[in-house]
A and B are shown apart, each in its own frame.
Chain A
Amino acid sequence: MTSHINEPNESKYAKSARAFRGNVTRDLANDELRSNFRGAMDYLVDKRKNSFPSADELETLREQCKLIKQRCLLKLPHLLEQLETNLEANGIKVHWAETITEANEIIAQLITDKNGKTVVKGKSMVSEETALNDHLEAQNIECLESDMGEYIVQLAGQHPSHIIMPAIHQNKKQVADLFADNIDGFEHTTDVDALIGEGRRVLREKFCHADVGITGVNFAVAETGTLCLVENEGNGRMCTTVPNLHIAITGIEKVVEFLDDVPPLLSLLTRSATGQIISTYFNMISSPRKNGEKDGPEEVHLVLLDNGRSQAFADEELRQTLQCIRCGACMNHCPVYTRIGGHAYGTVYPGPIGKIVSPHMLGLEATNNLPTASSMCGACGEVCPVKIPIPKLLQRLRVESVKATTGKPEVMKGEGSGRKTIEAIIWKGWSLLHKHSILYNTSMWFATRLRKLMPNNIGVWTSVRTAPKLAPQTLHEKIKARQKLNTKKGDS
Chain B
Amino acid sequence: MTTLNTQHLRNYPTKPEKVYFYGTCLADSLFPDSGMDAIEFLEKQGVEVLYPQGQTCCGQPAYNSGFEDEAKAVALAQVAQFPLDIPIVIISGSCGGMMRHHYPDLLKGEPGIENFCERIFEFTEFLVNVLKIKLDDKGQPEKIALHTSCAARREMGVHITGQALIKQLDNVELVTHKYESECCGFGGTFSIKHGDISGEMVKDKSKNLLDADVVRYISADWGCMLNINGALEYQKKSLRGEHIASYLLKRTQDIEASIKENKQSALFKEAK
Residues of A at under 8 Å CB distance from B?
24-25, 28, 49, 52, 55-56, 59, 335-336, 339-340, 372-379, 381-382, 395, 398-403, 418, 423-424, 427-428, 430-431, 433-437, 440-441, 444, 447-448, 459-471, 473-480, 482
Residues in chain B near residue A381, CB distance under 8 A: 154
B75 to chain A, nearest CB (A): 9
Q: Top 10 closest A-B pairs, CB basis?
A: A375-B187, A460-B195, A465-B230, A398-B66, A377-B183, A431-B70, A378-B154, A475-B32, A377-B150, A437-B54
Query: Contact between A434 and B66 (Cβ–Cβ < 8 Å)?
Result: no
Chain B contributes a number of interface residues (CB within 8 A of A) equal to: 73
Residues in chain A near residue B203, CB distance under 8 A: 464
| Closest residue on chain B to residue A466 by CB atoms | B233
Query: Contact between A402 and B66 (Cβ–Cβ < 8 Å)?
Result: yes
Name which of B66, B153, B154, B186 has the most chain A CB atoms within 10 A of its CB. B66
Q: A59-B4, A377-B150, A395-B63 are in contact. List 19 more A-B contacts (CB 8 A).
A: A24-B196, A25-B196, A372-B190, A375-B185, A399-B66, A402-B67, A431-B62, A431-B74, A444-B29, A448-B29, A459-B195, A460-B191, A460-B192, A463-B199, A464-B202, A464-B231, A465-B202, A465-B231, A465-B233
Residues in chain A near residue B14, CB distance under 8 A: none
Q: If A465-B231, A466-B234, A468-B230 touch, does A476 touch B28 (CB 8 Å cutoff)?
A: yes
Query: Contact between B183 and A373 (Cβ–Cβ < 8 Å)?
Result: no
Residues in chain A near residue B66, CB distance under 8 A: 395, 398-403, 418
Query: Contact between B3 and A55 (Cβ–Cβ < 8 Å)?
Result: yes
Contact of B193 among A372, A395, A400, A473 (CB under 8 A): A372
Main secondary structure of the interface of B (DSSP, over half): helix
A465 vs B197: C-alpha distance when bound (angstroms): 13
Q: If A56-B4, A378-B154, A464-B231 touch, does A434 touch B29 (CB 8 Å cutoff)?
A: no
Query: Contact between B4 and A377 (Cβ–Cβ < 8 Å)?
Result: no
Query: Contact between B64 and A395 (Cβ–Cβ < 8 Å)?
Result: yes
A453 to chain B, nearest CB (A): 15
Query: Does B107 make an interface contact (CB < 8 A)?
Result: no
Residues in chain B near residue A28, CB distance under 8 A: 196-197, 200
Query: Does B115 make an interface contact (CB < 8 A)?
Result: no
Residues of B at under 8 Å CB distance from A?
1-5, 23, 25, 27-33, 35-36, 39, 51, 53-57, 59, 61-71, 73-74, 76-77, 81, 150-151, 153-155, 181-183, 185-203, 226-227, 230-231, 233-234
Query: Contact between B36 and A375 (Cβ–Cβ < 8 Å)?
Result: no
Q: If A377-B183, A435-B73 touch, does A427 touch B62 (CB 8 Å cutoff)?
A: yes
A298 to chain B, nearest CB (A): 49
Query: Contact between A434 and B32 (Cβ–Cβ < 8 Å)?
Result: no
Main secondary structure of the interface of A (DSSP, over half): helix
Query: Contact between A379 and B3 (Cβ–Cβ < 8 Å)?
Result: no
| Closest residue on chain B to residue A428 by CB atoms | B70
B121 to chain A, nearest CB (A): 18
Supply 6 A–B pairs (Cβ within 8 Å), ascending by A: A376-B188, A378-B153, A378-B154, A434-B74, A464-B202, A474-B32
A486 to chain B, nearest CB (A): 11
Residues in chain B near residue A448, CB distance under 8 A: 29
Residues in chain B near residue A401, CB distance under 8 A: 66
A223 to chain B, nearest CB (A): 30
A60 vs B185: C-alpha distance when bound (angstroms): 31
Q: If A464-B234, A468-B30 touch, does A335 touch B199 (CB 8 Å cutoff)?
A: no
A477 vs B2: C-alpha distance when bound (angstroms): 41
Contact of B4 among A55, A335, A418, A464 (CB under 8 A): A55
Residues in chain A near residue B234, CB distance under 8 A: 462, 464-466
A458 to chain B, nearest CB (A): 9
